Amino acid sequence: MSANLRKVLTRSLYGSRRCLSSSAASNFVRIVDVSPRDGLQNEKAQVPSEVKLELIDRLTDCGVQTIEATSFVSPKWVPQMGDAKDLYPQVLAKYSGNGRSYPVLTPNAKGLEGALAAAERAGRPLEEVAIFGAASEGFSKKNTNRSVDESFKAFQEVVEQAKKSNVRVRAYLSTVIGCPYDGATDPQLVARLTQRFLEMGCYEVSLGDTIGVGTPSTIERMLSEVMKSIPADKLAIHAHDTYGQGVANVLQAVNMGIRVVDSCVGGLGGCPFANGATGNVSTEDVVYALHGLGYQTGIDLNKLSYTGEWICSKINKPNGSKAGKAIITKLEKAKL
Ligand code: HMG
Ligand code: MG
């Protein structure tokens, strides 16, 4: 699709009421691959740190711009991320300054302190962290042991300290379509909480369909409400693929002007505190669809497909990416 045609379509589909921004006309979609964090956090067997580091290495080599490296959360809550303080200095020492971003989750002041200490050990600056809240009380309590309001108090501390340390803060807002405990989410609440994160000083809010119940229609309804007051270039979409709607939901968001998409190779992932949620939308499937529409991601899809296959084999999971599997089959046949 030409840039002009895309512009015309975007305008005619989404009218002037929405806060479109210059990003809406951009041909580049930034992929935030969250496999080393969201992709692995729910794995019961401990994934060796060397495997996590190789995953980050491979994703970097594929051309992924942003790779979420790990979480500084309580190891009692998420044991899989318990190696963050040893792993993250190695990540920063190797990649810091390469023009990419390797953010980590920091839900509270203690998490930020851990990330800053890791950066100090690496002798490199901490550039970016992410905080995560929810648009439903049930999930907020299960995920962070705090009500929505209480969690925002903890985030305020993180953002203030991060500002002093020159660290960029991204925010996640989970359960933007539905919550496993509270049911359907009100789009107006999503808009208000997104605004709250931005007013606090976060540079971007990733809207999470944590349990993957969204469809293009409910994503459209939610984004229409949010985009009445918030420009597309402050937003990202984070789709889980429980009902097989992940790619369709991502494309709906991209059609509405969003240019940042979270995903996981091999369709890995899930949150330990979101009952019934399965993996994230697969990065390979998203990149295949985006490239097919004429968008650029800077990602080598062949290498990405082998990366998804590789990590799935390392953790004994079937590869959840249809595009990834098809590309590998084609490439292997061509070698014969
Ligand atoms: P809490 O138990 O209420 O915290 O947990 P606390 O302040 O009472 O502290 C309890 C213990 O945890 C203490 O240790 C603290 O030191 C320790 P103890 O004295 O018992 O030995 N602690 C920490 N340790 C390491 N790092 C920290 C930290 N904070 C406290 N940062 C807390 C509150 C938020 C920490 C906890 O609930 C937690 O870690 N939750 C983890 C939640 C999580 O990681 N969820 C998955 C990621 S979110 C997600 O997947 C959704 C997303 O993908 C988007 C989407 O899909 O929608 C982002
Ligand atoms: Mg998630």
Pairing outcome for strands 30-33 and 128-134: unpaired
- Res. 72 pLDDT band, cuts 50 70 90: very high
Output the average pLDDT for the chain. Answer: 93
Ligand nearest to the CA of 130: 1
Task: Give the number of domains in the chain.
Answer: 1
**Catalytic residue ranges:** 271
Say if 158 falls within a structural domain.
Answer: yes
pTM summary value: 0.94
What local confidence, expressed as pLDDT, does residue 22 receive?
55
Q: Is the CB of 108 under 6 A from ligand 1?
A: yes
DSSP assignment string, 167-207: -EEEEEEE-SSEETTTEEPPHHHHHHHHHHHHHHT-SEEEE
What local confidence, expressed as pLDDT, does residue 279 receive?
96
Say if 312 falls within a structural domain.
Answer: yes
What local confidence, expressed as pLDDT, does residue 251 receive?
98
Say if 2 falls within a structural domain.
Answer: no
What local confidence, expressed as pLDDT, does residue 130 receive?
98
Residue with tokens 């309590």: 141
Say if 167 falls within a structural domain.
Answer: yes
Q: Ligand 1 mean position to 75 CA, how many Å?
A: 8
Q: Nearest C-alpha to atom 20 of ligand 1 is from which residue?
A: 76
Structure tokens at 199: 């007013």
- Res. 16 pLDDT band, cuts 50 70 90: very low
Say if 19 falls within a structural domain.
Answer: no
CATH value at residue 97 = 3.20.20.70
pLDDT tens digits, 239-267: 999 999 999 999 999 999 999 999 999 99
Please give the residue range of the domain that contains residue 271. Answer: 30-335
Ligand nearest to the CA of 73: 1
How distant is the alpha carbon of residue 202 from its chain centre?
15
What local confidence, expressed as pLDDT, does residue 270 receive?
84
Q: Rounded mean pLDDT of 141-153?
A: 97
Q: Which residues surround ligand 2, an ion (CB under 5 A)?
A: 38
pLDDT tens digits, 260-306: 999 999 999 988 898 888 999 999 999 999 999 999 999 999 999 99
Residue 32 pLDDT exceeds 70: yes
Q: Nearest C-alpha to atom 56 of ligand 1 is from which residue?
A: 210
Say if 25 falls within a structural domain.
Answer: no
**What ligand 1 atom has the least distance to the C-alpha of 111?**
31
- Res. 11 pLDDT band, cuts 50 70 90: very low
Say if 12 falls within a structural domain.
Answer: no
Say if 80 falls within a structural domain.
Answer: yes
What local confidence, expressed as pLDDT, does residue 1 receive?
46
